[in-house]
Amino acid sequence: MTDDRHRRPEDVRAFYDAHRTVRQYETHEDGTPLPMPSEHLDVILHAAQRAPTDATAQLYSLIRLTRPELRARVADLTTNAHIATASEAFVVCADVRRVQRVLEVAGQQGGTWPAIAVHFGIGDAVMAGTNLLTAAEMLGYQGCWIGGVLNGLEGIIDELKLPQGVLPFAALTIGRPAEHAPYRPRVPRPLVIHTDTYHDGTDEEIRHATEVMNPIAARGGQPGDWARLLTMYFGQGGGMEKREPGLVAALKRQGLWAGGE
């Protein structure tokens, strides 16, 4: 007897090959979000809460954005306009405050572990958000993880009234796709999946991986240059260096900074 819960390997591969990062969603004629049916919303939230977690703690929270003015503000803070047009939009947060509150209410003394909080809080947040997105894709939606929360952390913390112990990790939008997003390449498996020990990659393997990834950086009909794109983000003077002080400031503000002054 075949168990209907089990799928063939080729079906699983096809499901994940159908994944796209989508920023343009079907909307009403006036451009306002097309609501997700309540039963769809309920099941994707159920999926999020079924994510694995370390030590039973569930160190995450999802802030669901519903008010148009709030969506518009977060869209502006993240420089991602599709937050305002998606059927559903969330800010995915690492959250250690709830555990501290459980201990407090139980009359127990909470410990001090800010580095652990970041480590496991972000892990839990990513797993919950990924569960939510995968469930949405099973229902025919597509979505987009938004790292642009780092563009406006202070404002997002203020807008969402996030207390100490809660840190925005990313935004996540879900909707019916209104664009045909391209299939994105990935780094060749031998540089990502290591056996027993880490394989650093030879220069030739790295050059080959760069060639494989070049199409992801194509813009305006021009050939892509993945190394150039990475330099814009991760090179000297790049976007990540510019974001670093804001993240450090937010970690300190939210009580999650384990470094020195």
> For position 3, what pLDDT does the model report?
66
The pLDDT value recorded for residue 260 is 77
pLDDT tens, 97-119? 999 999 999 999 999 999 999 99
110 within some domain: yes
- The domain spanning residue 90 has which CATH number? 3.40.109.10
Mean pLDDT along residues 236-252: 97
Residue 25 lies in a domain: yes
The percent of residues above 90 in pLDDT, for the chain, comes to: 94
Give the model confidence (pLDDT) of 174-226 as tens digits.
999 999 999 999 999 999 999 999 999 999 999 999 999 999 999 888 889 99
Query: Is the residue at 199 inside a domain?
Result: no
**d(C-alpha 249, C-alpha 246), whole Å:** 5
pLDDT at residue 1 in the model: 45
d(CA 34, CA 232): 35
Contact 125, 169 (CB under 8 A): yes
Name the residue range of residue 118's domain: 19-181
* Residue 81 within a domain: yes
Per the domain annotation, does 224 fall within a domain? no
Residue whose C-alpha is closest to residue 83's, from 110, 58, 63, 103:
63
Q: What is the pLDDT of residues 65-106, one digit of tens each?
A: 999 999 999 999 999 999 999 999 999 999 999 999 999 999
**Measured over all CA atoms, what is the biggest interatomic distance in the chain, rounded to whole angstroms?**
63
- Exposure string of 25-53, with b = 16+ CB inside 10 Å and e = fewer, is bebeeeeebeebeeebbebbbebbeebeb
The Cβ-side half-sphere exposure at 2, using a 13 Å CA radius, reads 4
Domain presence at residue 189: no
- Calpha distance 39→56 (Å, rounded): 27
- Its pTM stands at 0.95
Looking at the 3D structure of the chain, how many domains does it have?
1
- Give the confidence band of 2 by pLDDT, cuts at 50, 70, 90: low
Does residue 159 sit within a domain? yes
Question: Does 188 map to a domain?
Answer: no
In the β-sheet with 166-175, what is the strand arrangement from edge to edge? 60-64, 88-95, 166-175, 142-146
The Cα 141–Cα 88 span in angstroms is 10
